[in-house]
Amino acid sequence: MPLSKTPDSKTPAPKLKNDEIDTALVRGLADILNDTDLTEIEVERGDLKIRVAREITMAAPLQYAPAPAVHAAPAAHAAPAPASMPSDPAAIVAKQGEEVKSPMVGTVYLQASPEAPPFISVGDKVKKGQTLLIVEAMKTMNPIQAPRDGVVVEVLVGDAQPVEFGEPLVLLEA
Give me the tens of pLDDT residue by residue for the chain, a chain 174 residues long. Answer: 444 444 444 555 555 555 567 788 788 888 887 777 777 888 888 887 888 877 765 555 555 556 566 555 555 555 555 554 555 444 444 567 899 999 999 999 999 999 999 999 999 999 999 999 999 999 899 999 999 999 999 999 999 999 999 999 999 996
pLDDT, position 59: 55
Contacts of 149 (CB under 8 A, 6+ apart): 125, 126, 127, 128
pLDDT, position 19: 57
- Alpha carbon of 99 to those of 96, 108, 115, 161: distances in Å? 9, 15, 27, 17
State the DSSP string of 62-89: P---PPPP--PPPPTTPPPPPPPPPSSG
Contacts of 90 (CB under 8 A, 6+ apart): none
Q: Beta strand 48-53 with 40-45: parallel, antiparallel or unpaired?
A: antiparallel
pLDDT, position 130: 95
pLDDT, position 39: 77
Residues 90 and 166: beta-carbon distance below 8 Å:
no
pLDDT, position 150: 95
Query: Which pTM does this prediction carry?
Result: 0.47
Q: CA-CA distance, 94 to 92, in Å (whole number)?
A: 7
